[in-house]
Amino acid sequence: MHIQFGGNFTVSKSPEEVFDFLTDADRFCPLLPDYKSMQREDDTHFNVTMRVGISHIRGDAVVKMTLSEAERPRRAVYQGKGDVVGGNATLTAGFDLEKVDGGTRVNWKGESQIVGRLASLAGGMLEPLAKKNVQKLIDGLQTALT
């Protein structure tokens, strides 16, 4: 199952402040929906554990994340791969920052590919749930950056 998402929002912080927040796993990761923990390997690699579940398929997902692009203060891109209950997932999340009057416009986009039992059993419930969780993350980012 392939899911794409994107949008933008504007905050009053400078592009440098927004970039510093987005590239700090200790500040960014706890905003992830159903976040449990994070273990840092170095400044660009970390493992995030989250609770996942749909219907009777529930458990933890460990996602190995990499900050694959970091152009301060313009762009940050994460890539991740992980094992989820009954399958695996890959994801990409990118943030392009643009200075605007009074702050920064954050243009974000991402995609996720989920394969395995979870995707086949969840059927049409997976995409709406994923989009709802992405919106929770974006709402959390907006609040944290206000």
Q: Which CATH superfamily is domain 2-144 in?
A: START domain (3.30.530.20)
Give the number of residues written for the chain: 146
146 residues of the chain, pLDDT tens digit each = 788 999 999 999 999 999 999 999 999 999 988 899 999 999 899 999 988 766 666 778 899 999 999 999 999 999 999 987 777 889 999 999 999 999 999 999 999 888 876 666 666 666 777 788 888 889 999 999 98
Q: Is the dihedral angle over the CA atoms 73, 78, 21, 31 positive or is it negative?
A: positive
Identify the pLDDT of residue 73. 97
Identify the pLDDT of residue 127. 73
Listing DSSP states for 7-25 in one string gives: EEEEESS-HHHHHHHHT-H
Say how far apart CA 86 and CA 91 lie, in whole Å.
17
